[in-house]
Structure 1
C-alpha cells in the first residue's frame, strides 16, 4: 500500500510529459512573422448574425463561423482569439495589422480580392424580413417600393440594397428610404420598434429570426454570392486553405455545415488575392 503514492506520482508525471510532448509535436505551419501575435490566430468578428455569429445570454461568443475559426486554429496549432468589432472597421483593421483574419462571413467580390487574400467557403444570399404576419403583404421585390429599409452600413448588403433601390426607380417606381445602421442587430431592433418597415440581412439570420418567431422572412435567395475568410498574409491564407480542405476530406467541414443548415461551396477552397 505504501507504493501507491509513488505509483500515482509516476503516473501523473507520465501524463504531464505526454501532454508536453504532444504540445511540442504540434508545430504550426504558419511562421510567427505571418501573425499579429505569436502562437495566436487573431480574428475579427461582428457577432450580430445568429446563428452564424452571435453572443448568447451569458456573453459567450457562439455560432457556426466562430466554431469554424476555432477548428482552423486548432489544425494550425494556434490559439484562437476573437476581436468583436463593427464590420465597417474590419478591412481597414486587417490592412493595419490589427488582426490576422476577418471571420464574419464577408461576401466575396473581385474588388475585395484585389485588397486581401480571400478564401471562399460558404454559399450565402440575402433576405428581406418584416414584422410577424407580413402586414405589408410583401411577396416580390417590387413590393419594397416606397418602404423604409434597414441595413448594416458599409458592406455588400448595403450595396445590394442600393441596387434593389435602383431597380425600382429604373422601372419608374418609387425607391426605398434606406436607413443604415452600425450592425444588423441595430437594424432589426429598429424593425421591432417600427422605425423601419423591412430589414435586409443574410438568409441564415433571417431564417433564424423567423424560426424564433421574432420576424417574418418574406423574400430570400437574393443576390447569391459566396462568403469568405479574408487574410492579409499569403502564407497564413495558404495554411488556412489546406486546413479547410483537410476538413472537407475528413468530413468535419460538412458535419459542421449540416448542423447549422448552411450550404458550403462546391469543390476545394482556394486562395484568391493580390500577388504581392
Structure 2
C-alpha cells in the first residue's frame, strides 16, 4: 500500500514538472497589442482572397497556403496572438475593415496613396503587373503603348485595373484605339475567363502571372509593368505599430529574407518596414 502511494506521488510530481513549465512558458508570452485594439481578444484576424498563388491559395487538401499565410503565422507568433484568416473577395475587404469585421488585410494588395488615407498601410515587398495570354497564343505586345483595341480581363478594384485605366486614358489622349477592360471578383475567375475566350488577354500581379505561366496555364506577353510596393494594412495604429516592429525583427534575424526568397518575391530595396501614408483622416 505504501509503495502504491509512493508511486502515485512520484507520478504526480513527474506530471507537475512539465505542467508548471508550460504555465511559465505561456506567462512569458504576453500579447504585444492591447485587447481593446483587436476585434477579438487574443486574435489577429486577417482577410485574404486565396486565388493568387503563390501568395495565397487553397491547396488540394483544402488548406490555405502561400507566402502571405506564412508571414501571418510568423507575425502571430511574434505578437503572441492567434492568427485567424477570413476568406473574402477583394472588393469587399476595405469596407469590411472599416466596419471592424477583422483587424487587417493580408492579400497581396498594392500600395496607393488613396488607400494609405483610409487604413494603416505597411509596404513590405515589391510587385508589378504581368500581361498574359492563353498558352500557345501568337499575339505579341511590345509595350504598354501596344495595349490598344484589345479586351483585357482583370480583378475588380485592383491596382492592375487602375493601371489599365490609366493606359486607356493615355490612349484616348493620343488618339489610339480604346481598351475594353472586363472586371471579375477574383483572379481565378479572370483566368477562367481567359481560358474560355471571353477576352483577349489578362492582367495579373506578377507573382500570380508568373505562377500561371510556370504552371503552363498562360503565356507571358508583357512582364513586370507598373512596379509598386505590396502591403498589409490595418484598422488600428497600435496593431500596425506592433506589426512593423515584428517585421523589422524578422528582417534582422533573416526570417524576412528566408520567406520572401522561398517564394521569389522582390524585397523592398531598403529592407526597412514602416507605416506609409497618413493613415485614416
TM-score normalised according to structure 2 size: 0.93
| Cα distance in 1 for residues equivalent to 2:234 and 2:193 | 33
| Cα distance in 1 for residues equivalent to 2:228 and 2:62 | 31
Using the TM superposition, give the Cα deviation of residue 13 of structure 1 relative to its aligned residue in structure 2, in angstroms.
2.9
Deviations 1:195-241 (A, max 9, x none): 11111110111111111111112111111110111111111110000
**Aligned residue number for residue 162 of structure 2:** 159
**Residue 57 of structure 2 corresponds to residue 54 of structure 1:** yes
Using the TM superposition, give the Cα deviation of residue 8 of structure 1 relative to its aligned residue in structure 2, in angstroms.
5.3
Contact 1:54/1:63, CA 8 A, preserved across alignment: yes
Unaligned runs of 5+ in 2: none
Using the TM superposition, give the Cα deviation of residue 17 of structure 1 relative to its aligned residue in structure 2, in angstroms.
2.0
**Aligned residue number for residue 34 of structure 2:** 31
* Range moving further from structure 2, 152-161 or 118-127: 152-161
**Aligned residue number for residue 224 of structure 1:** 227
**Aligned residue number for residue 274 of structure 1:** 279
**Residue 220 of structure 2 corresponds to residue 187 of structure 1:** no
Unaligned runs of 5+ in 1: none
Deviations 1:37-74 (A, max 9, x none): 00000001011100001111111111001110111011
**Per the alignment, in what secondary structure is the counterpart of residue 214 of structure 1?**
coil
Using the TM superposition, give the Cα deviation of residue 145 of structure 1 relative to its aligned residue in structure 2, in angstroms.
1.5
* Range moving further from structure 2, 261-270 or 236-245: 261-270
Contact 2:116/2:280, CA 8 A, preserved across alignment: no
**Aligned residue number for residue 122 of structure 2:** 119
**Aligned residue number for residue 257 of structure 1:** 260
**Aligned residue number for residue 208 of structure 1:** 211
Instruction: Map residues 86-97 of structure 1 onto 2, 5 A cutoff.
Output: 86-97=89-100
TM-score normalised according to structure 1 size: 0.94
Please point out which of 243, 247, 251 is paired with 2:250: 247
| Cα distance in 1 for residues equivalent to 2:174 and 2:118 | 35
**Per the alignment, in what secondary structure is the counterpart of residue 16 of structure 2?**
helix
**Aligned residue number for residue 175 of structure 1:** 178
Using the TM superposition, give the Cα deviation of residue 4 of structure 1 relative to its aligned residue in structure 2, in angstroms.
7.2
Using the TM superposition, give the Cα deviation of residue 275 of structure 1 relative to its aligned residue in structure 2, in angstroms.
6.9
**Per the alignment, in what secondary structure is the counterpart of residue 69 of structure 1?**
helix
Contact 1:134/1:218, CA 8 A, preserved across alignment: no
Using the TM superposition, give the Cα deviation of residue 104 of structure 1 relative to its aligned residue in structure 2, in angstroms.
0.8
**Per the alignment, in what secondary structure is the counterpart of residue 110 of structure 1?**
coil
Distance 1:11 1:217, change over 3 A: farther
| Cα distance in 2 for residues equivalent to 1:152 and 1:9 | 60
Question: Of the two, which has the highest radius of gyration?
Answer: 2
* Range moving further from structure 2, 4-13 or 55-64: 4-13
Using the TM superposition, give the Cα deviation of residue 5 of structure 1 relative to its aligned residue in structure 2, in angstroms.
7.1
